[in-house]
Structure 1
Amino acid sequence: MDLCVTIKGVSFLLQTGVGILGNVMVLLAYAHIIYTEPKVLPVDLILCHLAFVNLMLLLTRGVPQTMTVFGLTDLLNDPGCKVLIYAYRIGRALSICITCILSVFQAVTVAPAGPRLSRLKPALPSLVLPTIVGLWLLNMAICVAAPLFSMAPRNGTVPAFTLNLRFCHVDFRDSLSYVINGVVFSVRDFAFVGLMVGSSGYILLLLHRHSRLVREMRRSKGAGAETRAAKIVITLVVLYVLFFGIDNAIWIYMLTVSKVSPVVTDMKVFFSSCYASLSPYFIISSNKKVKAKIACAAVRDQPSVDNQESSDK
């Protein structure tokens, strides 16, 4: 096997494996928190859902991409490609939307109470689940066109204006539909990214200008959790914007050529999946409840390992 192919395959394998493990740990920790605690913070529900959609993204794009790099071909037929591409598009869109909602929610939470926010703040926790459901329905409707252009590879040939994912092709047939598809999704993505950047900037502005207010919040009940949550949000947004910029720079280049090199497609897939792979570890390291649940699970498993070692001796 060529050295370049080996490096690429190992990179995808590590990224996908590490990402799936991290998101599964976050989901299991939050499942235990939701089951055992009488009251769950809305930000925890949002982070739990973010881990779920990122896991969905890795399973629908990272796993088949890794298998293809290692030479496994003919993985899917036309219906399989349509389902997989549709699920990936929804997962990617929801990863953007949920991160955006997370930053907006936290910005409203830490904002000083005023005439306009006095009614919104108490109702905000009850709006989390309806908002997430609405985002699911919205993106399922927006992404419905993706399966129409998806198909299994045909005899190793790649037509013009086709995204070659190796395991599937997304054939747009002509330049107009190719460019329109790219522009529509780019506008949606940039709109949500702009909103999350604006919300995060507002959070940073509040934490910087109102240090006395922040100290008072930390003394009050639940304020420490809100401050830690704000820091998690800012970290996730910075992480997302970084990889989003790289991903879209490659995507803009792809819109300017009729035939996209598989190497360029692999680079786009890798950078677009970095956020899904790394974000759960920022959640684990920053969220005390998640870290505690994972630590407790590790401690519970340790005695059984020690007993097994003693019996072997």
Structure 2
Amino acid sequence: MDLCVTIKGVAFLLQAGLGILANALVLLAYAHILHSEGRLLPADAILCHLALADLLLLLTRGVPQTLTVFGVRDLLDDGGCKAVIYLYRIARALSVCITCMLSVFQAVSVCPAGGPRLTRLKARLPRLLLPVSAALWLLNMAVCIAAPFFSVAPRNGTVPPFTLNLGFCHVDFRDNLSYVINGVAVSVRDFAFVGVMLGSSGYILVLLHRHGRKVRGIRRSQGDAMETRAAKTVVMLVVLYVVFFGIDNVIWIYMLTVAQVPPLVADMRVFFSSCYASLSPFLIISSNKKVKARMVCATSDQAEDGKQSKS
């Protein structure tokens, strides 16, 4: 096997394998919290939803891409391609939408007490999470409905112009107009949500800076420390998303300017567009004490079981 192909395969394998494992662990940790405490805090519920979307993204894009790089052919037929591409588009859209929802929720939560409208909004936020999450699923299922119509299994021979060659599937737009309209529509949606999350994250940073100056030299309460830590986690998630979103869209803009996309360029975009899904759960684990505590407890229980079996 060629060295370049081997490096690419190992990179996709590590990204998909570690990302799937980390997101699954986050979901299991939140399931344990829900079982033991009977409920999830609103921010934890959003993070759990994010881990689910990222897990779906890696399963529908990272796994097929890895198998294709390692030489697996005829992985999916036309129906399989339509289903996988549709689920991937939904998961990718949900990832940006949920990150945006998390940043807006945190911005409202840390906002200083204001008038009666803000007070009512803060009180209603936990009850709004479920309908907003359901609305995001329905919205993105409707927006991404066109993706299956352009998705087909790879055919023998050359790749037609205006086709995204994913290796395991082809997304054939048939003409330049469809190709550009699809790219612009996806970019406008993503840039809109990224703009909102950047605005809310900037507001959070301003509030944290003011709060830090106000409480300097004063002992902070446990609630203040937890709220500050949660706000910093949200800002770090947004920064992580924006970095890989920027790289992804630079490559995407280049792809819109050419009729035939080189396979290496398409692979680079797939890798960078999946980096957030594979790295965000590690940030959640390292910054969330509840999730980390479940990991430590599970590891300790396994160690105790091992000692008892040996004895």
Q: Same fold (TM over 0.5)?
A: yes
The equivalent of 1:108 in structure 2 is 108
Structure-2 separation of matches of 1:257 and 1:271: 20
Cα deviation 1:113-149 (Å, max 9, x = unaligned):
2123121011111111111110000000000000000
Give the Å deviation of 1:171: 0.3
The equivalent of 2:167 in structure 1 is 166
Tell me whether 182-191 or 124-133 shows the greater mean CA deviation. 124-133
The equivalent of 1:211 in structure 2 is 212
Structure-1 separation of matches of 2:88 and 2:214: 42
Number of corresponding residues: 309
Aligned residue identity for 1:111: C
Give the Å deviation of 1:152: 0.3
Task: Give the RMSD, CA atoms, in angstroms.
Answer: 1.4
- Residue 86 in structure 1 maps to residue 108 in structure 2: no
SS at match of 1:210: helix
Structure-2 separation of matches of 1:218 and 1:125: 25
- Structure-2 change in CA distance of 1:120 and 1:75 (3 Å): same
- Structure-2 change in CA distance of 1:120 and 1:213 (3 Å): farther
Aligned residue identity for 2:92: R
Structure-1 separation of matches of 2:75 and 2:221: 56
Task: Indicate conservation of the 8 Å contact 1:107/1:203, yes or no.
Answer: yes
Structure-2 separation of matches of 1:217 and 1:52: 37
Task: Indicate conservation of the 8 Å contact 2:160/2:172, yes or no.
Answer: yes
Aligned residue identity for 2:65: Q
5+ residue gaps in structure 2? none
Structure-2 separation of matches of 1:18 and 1:110: 33
The equivalent of 1:247 in structure 2 is 248
- Structure-2 change in CA distance of 1:236 and 1:214 (3 Å): farther
Aligned residue identity for 2:221: R
The equivalent of 1:57 in structure 2 is 57
The equivalent of 2:118 in structure 1 is 117
- Residue 76 in structure 1 maps to residue 80 in structure 2: no
Give the Å deviation of 1:200: 0.4
Aligned residue identity for 1:202: Y
Task: Indicate conservation of the 8 Å contact 2:33/2:39, yes or no.
Answer: no
Structure-1 separation of matches of 2:138 and 2:7: 39
Task: Indicate conservation of the 8 Å contact 1:243/1:271, yes or no.
Answer: yes
Task: Indicate conservation of the 8 Å contact 2:19/2:278, yes or no.
Answer: yes
Structure-2 separation of matches of 1:217 and 1:82: 57
Structure-2 separation of matches of 1:156 and 1:19: 34
Structure-2 separation of matches of 1:19 and 1:277: 4
The equivalent of 1:67 in structure 2 is 67
SS at match of 1:177: helix
Runs of 4+, deviation exceeding 4 Å:
212-218
Tell me whether 5-14 or 152-161 shows the greater mean CA deviation. 152-161
The equivalent of 2:297 in structure 1 is 296
Task: Indicate conservation of the 8 Å contact 1:12/1:66, yes or no.
Answer: yes
Structure-1 separation of matches of 2:306 and 2:211: 50
5+ residue gaps in structure 1? none
